[in-house]
Amino acid sequence: MSDAEEGYEEQAEETEEPEAEEEAEPQRDEEEEQQDYAEYQDQDAQEGEEERPRPKPMVPQLAPPKIPEGERVDFDDIHRKRMEKDLLELQTLIEVHFEQRKKEEGELIALKERIERRRSERAEQQRVRAEKERDRQTRIAEERQRKEDEEAKKRADDEAKKKKVLSNMGANFGGFLAKAEQRRGKRLTGREVKRKTLSERRAPLAIENLREDGLRQRAQEMWNWIYQLESEKFDFMDEMKRQRYEIVVLLNRISHAQKKQAEQMDGGRSATCQWTGVSSEELIL
């Protein structure tokens, strides 16, 4: 084999080795691209699970460059196309990211405005409710004060009327007794003696300077006194009825005894209780 043939063989071997390397290099690039894309998809899926689902970016499908057979491969062109593809994907992702961020910012602004509007509406409702409650409490206080004033005025009028009536009664009663005594002189009947005794026993009221508690106490004392008098009156009436019954029984016995004695003496003449001048029916009534 000559030197020329050896040179051709070496040149052919050198040519075959770059071709094999060129064929292996695109395969490795494709595998790396697939791995990068898979990692990007996994990362995007994880971010979507953590935050919320996002729309997938619209990445244009670029066909891998075809390696012509039997020709030399321009690795610079392949690298340039790969860089252009990565740049395009990056730009697409950036645009999608900014669009999503812009959308989220708009939603956040709308949410803040809605919250602020609700807060202002709630504050207005609370203010209106507080004003209504204040007005209601004011009306209740005014109504209570008005009723208290009316009751106080009514009590004052009633007390004034009572004082006037009592003073008139005292003055008229005293004047009536004085006139009666002057008319009839010193001779008094049983009724006049009774009135005089009652007027002497009755203490003056003296209620002009008394307050409500004093008037209540004086009224209670008068009620107790009247109650005592009524009790004594009831006891006296009961005793009087019992004594009348005993008198009637005794009169009947006397009448019966006198009748029997008269029948025995006069032969049937009836005797009555003329010495008394009062029949048994009148005594009962």
Confidence of residue 125 (pLDDT cuts 50, 70, 90): very high
Is the predicted pLDDT of residue 218 greater than 50, yes or no? yes
Provide mean pLDDT across the span 60-65: 57
What residue spans define the domains of the chain? 18-120
Are the C-beta atoms of 221 and 207 separated by less than 8 Å?
no
pLDDT recorded at residue 285: 47
pLDDT recorded at residue 67: 57
For 130-140, write each residue's pLDDT tens digit: 999 999 999 99
pLDDT recorded at residue 195: 76
Q: How far apart are CA 25 and CA 18, in angstroms?
A: 10
Q: How far apart are CA 160 and CA 166, in angstroms?
A: 10
pLDDT recorded at residue 124: 93
For the chain, percent of residues with pLDDT exceeding 70: 56
Is the predicted pLDDT of residue 1 greater than 50, yes or no? no
Query: Is the Cα torsion angle 36, 42, 44, 50 positive or negative in sign?
Result: negative
How far is residue 238 from each of residues 9, 51, 258, measured CA to CA in Å?
167, 105, 30
For 161-213, write each residue's pLDDT tens digit: 877 776 666 555 555 556 655 665 556 677 777 777 777 666 666 677 777 88
Query: Is the Cα torsion angle 245, 251, 254, 255 positive or negative in sign?
Result: negative
Residue type, 4: A
For 155-165, write each residue's pLDDT tens digit: 888 888 877 77
Are the C-beta atoms of 170 and 205 separated by less than 8 Å?
yes
- Phi and psi at residue 125, to the nearest 5°: -65, -40
Contacts of residue 215, defined as CB under 8 A and 6 or more positions apart, other chains included, come to: 159, 207
Residue whose structure tokens are 């106490």: 217
Query: 75-184 and 3-50 are packed helices; what angle lies between their axes, rounded to 10 degrees?
Result: 10
Confidence of residue 224 (pLDDT cuts 50, 70, 90): confident
Provide mean pLDDT across the span 38-42: 61
For 74-123, write each residue's pLDDT tens digit: 778 888 888 999 999 999 999 999 999 999 999 999 999 999 999 999 99
pLDDT recorded at residue 133: 92
Is the predicted pLDDT of residue 68 greater than 70, yes or no? no
